[in-house]
Amino acid sequence: METKKINILENWPSLSPDPNLIEHLWSELERCIRKRPKLAKNEKELERALYEKWNQIPNNTLINLIKSMPRRVEACIKNNGWPTKY
């Protein structure tokens, strides 16, 4: 990574989910799917429902998640890589 000039965080726990924005989106997606009055009967229906809900995620939700990144990283640093509220 150094030869490609990619900054890395030294001593960062590689499996820490805290700065991982996609985890928040997966949780939101799961909540939306579980709230549906009609549960998917098969894998194809579930896939269709997931795509539908994924495409309905408002842009400002994504923007707010991106804006939260500095706070997430700061919280991880303060907790020495241990879990945070995120």
Residues 3-15, mean pLDDT to the nearest whole number: 68
For residue 38, being part of any structural domain is answered with: yes
For residue 9, being part of any structural domain is answered with: no
Answer for the pair 73, 12: CB distance below 8 angstroms, yes or no: no
pLDDT at residue 18, rounded to an integer: 64
Model confidence pTM above 0.75: no
For residue 11, being part of any structural domain is answered with: no
pLDDT at residue 73, rounded to an integer: 86
For residue 14, being part of any structural domain is answered with: no
Q: Which phi-psi region, left, alpha or beta, contains residue 63 (left: φ > 0; alpha: ψ -120 to 50)?
A: alpha
pLDDT at residue 79, rounded to an integer: 82
Can you tell me the distance from the alpha carbon of 16 to that of 75, in angstroms, rounded to the nearest whole number? 12
Interval 11-62: pLDDT, tens: 665 555 567 888 889 998 999 899 988 889 999 999 999 999 999 999 999 9
For residue 46, being part of any structural domain is answered with: yes
For residue 8, being part of any structural domain is answered with: no
For residue 49, being part of any structural domain is answered with: yes
Q: Which two tokens stand for residue 78?
A: 């303060």
What is the extent of the structural domain holding 33?
19-78
pLDDT at residue 53, rounded to an integer: 93
For residue 43, being part of any structural domain is answered with: yes
pLDDT at residue 23, rounded to an integer: 85
Can you tell me the distance from the alpha carbon of 75 to that of 81, in angstroms, rounded to the nearest whole number? 8
> What's the number of domains the chain is made of?
1
